Amino acid sequence: MIKKTSYPRQLVIGDEVWSVKFVRKLDGCYGECDPSNNEIRIRMKQSHDETLKTFIHEVVHALEFSFEFDLEHRHVYALEEAVFQLLRDNFLTLKDD
Ligand SMILES: [Zn+2]
């Protein structure tokens, strides 16, 4: 598990800076990737795991924009799950106790 406070507020992706914002409301979704102003928005009040999955999902979309490739959405979901498990099983040691 990872604490919300340990998410970066900014991400460098390619040669651009993206901001990461946690918001109370999003229209019917858990996250949003807005390439018009390089902003990733993540809905608050998700579980820790769901927050991380949403974060990964939106970062993958940002990577698509920045590196100019186009994934089918099912592949974005597949990467979301795969990267989530990779991080959980190998890298994440932060516990939200
Ligand atoms: Zn998506």
Is pLDDT larger for residue 14 or for residue 94?
Answer: 14
Query: Which among 77, 70, 72 has a CA at the least distance from the CA of 56?
Result: 77
Query: How many A from CA of 8 to the centre of ligand 1?
Result: 20
Query: How many A from CA of 72 to the centre of ligand 1?
Result: 9
Tell me whether residue 97 is in a domain: no
pLDDT, tens only, 76-85: 999 999 999 9
Q: Report the predicted TM-score, pTM, of the whole model to 2 decimal places.
A: 0.89
Q: Report which residue type is found at 54.
A: T
Q: Please, what is the Cα angle at 73 between 69 and 77, to 5 degrees?
A: 110
Tell me whether residue 83 is in a domain: yes
Tell me whether residue 15 is in a domain: yes
Tell me whether residue 96 is in a domain: no
The average confidence (pLDDT) of the chain is: 90
Q: Does 95 have pLDDT greater than 60?
A: no
Residue range(s) defining the domain that contains residue 41:
4-90
Tell me whether residue 75 is in a domain: yes
Report strand pairing: 39-43 vs 31-34: antiparallel
Burial of residue 23 (CB within 10 Å: 0-12, 13-18, 19+) is exposed
The answer to whether 62 touches 84, Cβ cutoff 8 Å, is no
pLDDT, tens only, 56-80: 999 999 999 999 999 999 999 999 9
Query: How many A from CA of 58 to the centre of ligand 1?
Result: 6
Tell me whether residue 24 is in a domain: yes
**pLDDT value at position 41?**
97
| Total count of domains within the chain | 1
Tell me whether residue 32 is in a domain: yes
